Structure 1
Amino acid sequence: MISHFLLVFGLLATSVAIADSTPLSRNPASLDPAVIAAASDTPANLGGDGVVTITWPRTDVPVTVDGLKLPPPAGLGSWAAFMPTPDGAMVMGDTVVFQDEVDAAMDAAFAHGLEVTALHNHFFYSDPPVFFMHINGQGDPMALAQGVKAVWAAIRSVRTQRIVPGRHFPGGVPVPGHLDAMAISSALGLTVTDNHGVLKASFGHTSSMGGMTIGGTSGLTTWIALVGSDQQSVADGDFIMYGRDVQVVLHALRHAGFHIVALHNHMIGEKPVVYFTHFWGKGSALDLARSFKSVLEAQAVSESKNNLKEN
Structure 2
Amino acid sequence: MRTPPHALLKAAGIPVLALLLAGLTACGAQSGTPGHHTDMTAHAAVQADDDEGHRSLPIATTDADWKPVTDALGRTGKFGDNNGVYRIPLTRTDLHVTTKGVDIKPGLSLGGYAAFAKYDDGAMLMGDLVVTEAELPKVTDALQAHGIEQTAVHKHLLEQSPAVWWTHIHAMGDPAKLAEGLKAALDATAIPAPAAPAATQQPVDLDTTAIDSEIGRKGTADGGIYKYSIARKETITDGDHLLTPASGVTTGINFQPVGGGKAAINGDFVLTASEVQPVIQALRRGGIDIVELHSHSLTEQPRLFYMHFWAVDDGAKLAKALRPALDATNFKPAS
TM tier, shorter chain?
Answer: 0.3 to 0.5
TM-score by length of 1: 0.42
Q: TM-score, normalised by structure 2?
A: 0.39
Structure with bigger gyration radius = 1
